[in-house]
Amino acid sequence: MTHERIDPSGIPAIGDWNRLLDGKVAVVTGGGAYGIGGAICELFAAHGATVEVAEVDPDRAEAVVAAVEAAGGTARAHVVDVTTEDGVAALAASVLDAHGGIDVLVNNVGDYRPLVRFDESEPASWEAMYRINLWHVFAVTQAFLTPMIERGGGSIVNVHSVEGMRGYPGEPVYASMKAAAAHFTTSLAAGYGREGIRANGIGVDLTQTPQVDYVGRSEGHHDLWEAWAPVGRLGWPVDQARVALFLASDMSAYVTGHNIPVDGGTRAGGGWFYSPTDRRFVNRPSRL
């Protein structure tokens, strides 16, 4: 049997592998320094994207733009609150006025705080959880979806959590919002693929950021990091940014509707702990 080379027309060519987003316009919400969104901004800009940073904290917004520019990239800050109609409208107006459309959208804003027991939580806190983890994912996506389609398509990356992919006993409401963000991603992909839109999600876990200070909170117990995740270390924002780059670029041209846990393997080994002292796996904390 002979095989013929398939004509790859229609498959986007990867030009410069070091400039995977050359000429693209990317919006990153919560893109201030030095969380996951900040790392995404820096990596995307290093790969040639013009990055539009949507960030509520002016200092963090300014810091990420300075870091991008110092590395020779292009970024612009929009100090907006994406949990408000006005904030989303201002962001969309400014970005679309400058570029007409966008190629990449990263919905990254999210927060698990305040951590309260479900039985002690107030309905107002459920509303707040919805607003900060889900509402803006709908709102910002809707604001940019049609301009993305009109531009010929694009990639949407929703940053959520592994807590939306497994039971999270500490905070069921937060976990539910993240699960909904993952399902929104899948449904969006199914609905808009024929119009050139890809949508994928990242389920984050164990990543050191200003919001989740694993290094500080485990002071004196850093030897236990090895036990937390199968890869034996904490995650860093750049670990998440590299997967976002893959999903944003044509490297993943045939990938849509998926939610990838970027968790150092915590979900894979769920329920099991590695005991560095005993050098074996146990299904209870490793010092017990």
Ligand X SMILES: NC(=O)c1ccc[n+]([C@@H]2O[C@H](COP(=O)([O-])OP(=O)(O)OC[C@H]3O[C@@H](n4cnc5c(N)ncnc54)[C@H](O)[C@@H]3O)[C@@H](O)[C@H]2O)c1
Q: Looking at the annotation, which residues are catalytic?
A: 174
Q: Near ligand X by CB under 6 A, which window of 1-9, 50-58, 250-258, 264-272?
A: 50-58
Calculate the CA dihedral of residues 161, 167, 173, 175 and round it to 10 degrees.
10
Q: Is 196 in the site for ligand X (CB under 6 A)?
A: no
Q: Is 266 in the site for ligand X (CB under 6 A)?
A: no
Residue 98 C-beta: closest distance to ligand X, Å: 19
Q: Is 140 in the site for ligand X (CB under 6 A)?
A: no
Q: Near ligand X by CB under 6 A, which window of 35-43, 65-73, 114-122, 268-276?
A: 35-43
Binding residue (CB under 6 A) for ligand X from 20, 25, 27, 30: 30
Q: Is 155 in the site for ligand X (CB under 6 A)?
A: no
Q: Is 261 in the site for ligand X (CB under 6 A)?
A: no
Closest residue by beta carbon to ligand X: 110
Binding residue (CB under 6 A) for ligand X from 51, 188, 204, 245: 204
Binding residue (CB under 6 A) for ligand X from 19, 63, 74, 81: 81
Measured at the CA of 187, the angle between CA 186 and CA 192, to 5 degrees, comes to 105
Q: Is 205 in the site for ligand X (CB under 6 A)?
A: yes
